[in-house]
Structure 1
Amino acid sequence: MTAQSPLSGTRGPSDGHPLHVAIIMDGNGRWARARGLPRTAGHRKGAESVRAVVEASPGLGITHLTLFGFSSENWKRPQSEISDLMSLLRFYLKSELRNLAKHNVCLRVIGRRDRFSQDVLDLIAEAEHETGQGTGLQLTIALNYGSRLEIVDAVKDIAREVAAGTLDPETIGEADVNRHLTTRDLPDPDVLIRTSGEQRISNFLLWQAAYAELVFSPVLWPDFNGQHLADALADYRTRERRFGGV
């Protein structure tokens, strides 16, 4: 019998496979530094790993894949690196759109969009529109995303409903918070993977990952591939998920 998460809108693994895998893609800078290359080279090689993982996911039984692409804290990085990241984002959205549609992938972007240039916003909108009917892998990329900000925004929305008299504060529950999150239409992640050996979740899906299994891979993201993903899932499948029960 499959264990069920206590959070609303979630489900557990099926036949030992996670349905929803979330990944913190870490290690691009260290990969480049170890080779005497600029950080940009690490980000570009990391984009190749995105393709490898996206293509491997359906064969591993994954239906939902969420990737932490750019955090709300990443704006603190040097402007030159941010410019390179935005250029890479433009390139990815343009070059991968046809490939995503070909593989029946549905792409969506979560995170605040107010700091992106209009051309990036247009590319995101086009990618979401062109892949919106995809019934295969549901790919979510978190851009300018921070989980605390997401929760704050949800609280504000709930407060507006209370102020408008459409929501009784005494009845507010987890489902009310969940329906105001950017991930409202997604199941909660079954497993959260972080690459590069770091062991923290860095303000990523704090609400949604309450009962996710954590897997920390020593592999730097630019070297991460489908086999590494399979290895992480093999680790996950050794876990017994109790969701607070016995």
Structure 2
Amino acid sequence: ADMFTFQGLLPEGDHGISYSIPNLLVDHAMRNPPVPPGFWRGVNVNQNAIYMESFMDELAHAAGEDPLAFRRKLMRDNPKGLAVLNAVAERAGWGQPAPAGVFRGLAVCKAFASYIAACAEVSVDGRGRLRIHRIVAATDPGHAVNPQQIEAQVEGSFVFGLSALLYGECTIRGGRVEQENFDTYPSMLMPEMPKVEVILMPSGGFWGGVGEPTIAVAAPAVLNAIFAATGRRIRQFPLKHADLRAA
């Protein structure tokens, strides 16, 4: 198997799983659609982080535990990953009341050797309209040569990650992709973008990526916040097709 398939799910390494799980089997079934795929910013860790972090949230809910506390117990052997998770939780005010109608969700991951985490704050009105108010994102890339450039990369990565979650879709008709430009393949616009607060935590000792990793935590953090707001687990994307009214 191509090990890049398992980015974010590997037992160790630059794309290692964030949690200490005694009995771990990661496998997959190949599906070869007739449409040739290509690379996109973040590659396979984007979808793998959704699978992992959405499921971790489901496990926490099934166990009747706080999603942060549940993750912390499984990250005792991952101090760098735990540090970025704790940083976003503290900055976002996890455990403290959110503004009225606003709900929070978490995600943490390791990608391209960097440790990354995010907390999203969202609201969903009675008609199912989603508003993403705030993102708190932390990254430990090891060394930070140009902190301002890293912050810009992290902020931009959420434009990519949230756009894919909300709108990203390629449809095929007559043997060709229908989407040709931004009029048919939209990106988030400035009025839609949440405030993105970046916490840069270079711990030294390694060189990690900064351009792609934090895309991976954008979608799962928002999806977990949507569950907190509505009781719905969304498993099909983009969200423009989803019914987000409270369950």
Q: TM-score, normalised by structure 1?
A: 0.26
Decide which structure has greater helix share.
1
